[in-house]
Amino acid sequence: MNDLPRLPTSGGCRDEPILKQRGQREVFCGLTGIIWLHRKMQDAFFLVIGSRTCAHLLQSAAGVMIFAEPRFGTAILEETDLAGLADAQTELDKVVDQLLARRTDIRQLFLVGSCPSEVIKLDLSRAAERMTEKYAPSVRVLNFSGSGIETTFTQGEDACLASMVPVLPETNERQLLLVGALPDVVEEQAVSLLTQMGIGPVRVLPAPRADSDLSVGTETVFALTQPFLGDTHAELERRGARHIAAPFPFGEEGTTAWLRMIADEFGVDDATFERVTAAPRARARKAIAQASVSLRGKSVFFFPDSQLEIPLARFLTRECGMQAIEVGAPFIHKGIIGPDLDMLAQGPVLSEGQDVDLQLDRCRAARPDLTVCGLGLANPLEAEGLSTKWAIELVFTPVHFYEQAGDLAGLFSRPLRRDDLLQLGVR
């Protein structure tokens, strides 16, 4: 039982200096989150109040033409709205009336702010309150911002989940709340591991339907499954729930440490923990060992994008044998990411925020074997001979917990293997 992980108390990066820079940034906006959120919340509709650019972003990020009734759309702000000539609130009421009359399956409506709606200071919280009064109890109307002004793309999910917490019913029940949108199959694996240890009831935010038994209170403890949920974390604490701080469940080690922290909270003994986790841990280790062969000894440089950077750097350095040169993250919230920082060995530059030109200079000087970055930087860097991995893929792909640990390593090794094959072809 000696290999059951306990968190290191020193030697990590938690207290290392952080390079903070602000300047031009290269990130997607929070509207992107709608692509995975609308699949999780099956009776929700996301109405973006935005421009044609926002509509195009959603359509191309969705990656498919939608033939069935979609569960997101854009109320386009026209020039008369932007010039203040039309009453945008009245226009919005009309659009929502039409939508809800036609789509009687909608139980949750999210009014999603964008850069244009923020620029004209359209008050969507007022609109959501007014519409909730009108449509309750059959439809709950909430609002959040997906604007790209000073935000990054995973903040859309955070803003959405944070908007739901204040309206959750109160409970005195002792319960575990898992927070973060995961693919269904991955969520089922997590809940199954926890229930096999006797932990429960386990509930998940976001729930698939508005009429779920989701509630919150002072007897609620919560574990985040995604590291980008700072605002949701704050809202849950405001409701009296307590956070179980843990490394994030990426890789065998991260998953075991995450489960261990929750198991300790619920008094699970070592023998039970071992019985439930031994087999999937062994599978994960084997899969990582196979998938990480081409990663061993290679260097990696993270540009700030998904907010997954620090847990992934921990996984790649500790479980895949890589060396991190720089780990950039849009925000470093030590209350959330601290346990991962504790496990990340000192050495890489830790950077928060971005001045993209300065960071590109550092990356070019370092010539890493692999650069993890947004789509906008990947192509130019590839043209300069650097191998890249798109950060956004890490959010769209199932990568959490034991059964996906090999796939996670594989996502990083694929670009290196591709480059090796291309070079062989050249010779």
Binding site for ligand SF4 (CB under 6 A): 29, 31, 50-51, 53-54, 57, 114-115, 146-148
Residue 115 vs 300, nearer CB to ligand SF4: 115
Please tell me the distance from the alpha carbon of residue 100 to that of residue 156, in angstroms, as a whole number. 23
Residue 30 vs 311, nearer CB to ligand SF4: 30
Query: Closest Cα partner for 403 from 250, 238, 230, 262?
Result: 250
Residue 20 vs 22, nearer CB to ligand SF4: 22
Residue 67 phi, psi (nearest 5): -100, -35
* Least separation in angstroms between CB 29 and ligand SF4: 3
Residue 31 vs 224, nearer CB to ligand SF4: 31
* Least separation in angstroms between CB 153 and ligand SF4: 9
* Least separation in angstroms between CB 374 and ligand SF4: 13
Q: Which residue matches tokens 């996984």?
A: 315
* Least separation in angstroms between CB 92 and ligand SF4: 16
Q: Are strands 349-354 and 323-329 parallel, antiparallel or unpaired?
A: parallel
Neighbour-count burial for 90-108, b at 16+ CB within 10 Å, e otherwise = ebbeeebeebbeeeeebbb
* Least separation in angstroms between CB 103 and ligand SF4: 23
Please tell me the distance from the alpha carbon of residue 209 to that of residue 289, in angstroms, as a whole number. 39
* Least separation in angstroms between CB 353 and ligand SF4: 18
* Least separation in angstroms between CB 377 and ligand SF4: 17
Cis? peptide before 249, omega within 30° of 0: no
Please tell me the distance from the alpha carbon of residue 319 to that of residue 252, in angstroms, as a whole number. 8
Residue 147 vs 226, nearer CB to ligand SF4: 147
* Least separation in angstroms between CB 142 and ligand SF4: 18
Please tell me the distance from the alpha carbon of residue 144 to that of residue 297, in angstroms, as a whole number. 43
For residue 70, CA distances in Å to 35, 45, 95, 171 come to 11, 8, 16, 34
Residue 372 phi, psi (nearest 5): -100, 120
Cis? peptide before 201, omega within 30° of 0: yes
Residue 283 phi, psi (nearest 5): -60, -45
Indicate the DSSP class of residue 401. Answer: S
Q: How far apart are the first and last CA of the chain?
A: 50
Residue 153 vs 390, nearer CB to ligand SF4: 153
Residue whose beta carbon is closest to ligand SF4: 148
Residue 147 vs 220, nearer CB to ligand SF4: 147
Residue 151 vs 404, nearer CB to ligand SF4: 151
